[in-house]
């Protein structure tokens, strides 16, 4: 698996992610569950979060929900100007720092991928 982080090589910082991240113009909400999508139907979610960066392959999220690297989560992304949330069936937490963490999307439906690509094309401001 390719790394999903920045490396410093001879004084130069290189972004080693597979997918280019986009800093969202205005952070948007998401809901997350560590117990999978079945929890959505009972409305029993583990927590809410705010997305700051997103790509086709993952996102940077802030939440008050306790999260640690290796956790598997399902996400519902409330992409701006869209009628319903985009669902990420499965993601894994790659890093966590306080209330902020990075997830790699492992299972995304074709419909969600199309919605993410459209959102990214309309909001293509590279993340810092």
pTM exceeds 0.85, yes or no: no
CATH class of the domain comprising 19-122: mainly beta
How many other CB atoms are there within 10 angstroms of residue 118's CB atom? 12
Distance, CA of 111 to CA of 87 (rounded, Å): 9
Cβ atoms 51, 77 nearer than 8 A: yes
Q: What is the DSSP letter of 126?
A: B
| Structure-model confidence comparison of residues 102 and 25, the more confident one | 102
- Tell me: the pLDDT tens digits for 82-113? 899 999 999 999 999 999 999 999 999 999 99
Could you identify the residue written with the tokens 């902020």?
100
Q: Considering the chain, what is the average pLDDT of its residues?
A: 80
């Amino acid at each position: 698996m390719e790394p999903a982080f920045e490396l410093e090589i001879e004084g130069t910082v290189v972004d080693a992610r597979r997918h280019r991240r986009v800093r969202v113009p205005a952070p948007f909400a998401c809901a997350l569950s560590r117990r999978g999508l079945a929890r959505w139907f009972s409305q029993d979610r583990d927590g809410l979060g705010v997305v700051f960066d997103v790509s086709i392959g993952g996102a940077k999220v802030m939440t008050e929900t306790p999260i640690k690297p290796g956790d598997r989560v399902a996400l519902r992304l409330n992409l701006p100007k869209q009628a319903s949330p985009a669902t990420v069936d499965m993601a894994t937490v790659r890093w966590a720092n306080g209330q902020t963490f990075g997830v790699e999307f492992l299972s995304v439906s074709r419909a969600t991928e199309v919605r993410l690509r459209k959102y990214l094309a309309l909001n293509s401001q590279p993340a810092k």
